Structure 1
């Protein structure tokens, strides 16, 4: 299962506009990505409501994952890893606004 960790850099965390921008980016990958904080179960990163209710604040570490058995046939494992790398870069660059 491809997994990546990132630090949320947006000043307001993943709330409102930053969360919507992140969810759009995740949806654009076409992959079933989950996002979680340590000690919490992962939520569907394609769901704005689920992302916003998890309180991913500025500075918190999150884990992004894609279950290997959930990767659509049109994608390879390296494709999923590359997508997670891009999503992590997005979170860590504070460009999610």
Structure 2
């Protein structure tokens, strides 16, 4: 499953929102990936997410594969759409 969402928080996917995203992703047994600018990284890895260097306004694709993929996709999409609570 996959869904495109746009980073709305002011600083984009910097350390704090990346750590929140990784913590949420790790609650699911499904594999979770983030794709942007032609690069795909494991979204359960903080280093992977930070290497993307994604600023505000970037559209990312969240990809989930596994038994709880739909729930993971909905939770993580909502997290991004609400600006990581910032």
Instruction: Output the TM-score relative to the length of structure 2.
Output: 0.88
CA offset at residue 95 of structure 1? 2.4
Partner in structure 2 of residue 10 of structure 1: 9
State the aligned residue count: 86
Partner in structure 2 of residue 54 of structure 1: 52
- Runs of at least 5 residues in structure 1 that lack an aligned partner in the other structure: none
Partner in structure 1 of residue 28 of structure 2: 29
Whether the 8 Å contact between 2:4 and 2:59 is mirrored in structure 1 is yes
- Runs of at least 5 residues in structure 2 that lack an aligned partner in the other structure: none
1:7-53 Cα shifts (integer Å, max 9, x gaps) = 11221111111111111011112221110114x13100000001001
Partner in structure 2 of residue 87 of structure 1: 76
CA offset at residue 66 of structure 1? 2.3
CA offset at residue 82 of structure 1? 2.5
Q: Which aligned segments of 4 or more residues in structure 1 are displaced greater than 6 angstroms?
A: none
What SS does structure 2 have at the residue aligned with 1:6?
strand
**Rg larger in 1 or in 2?**
1
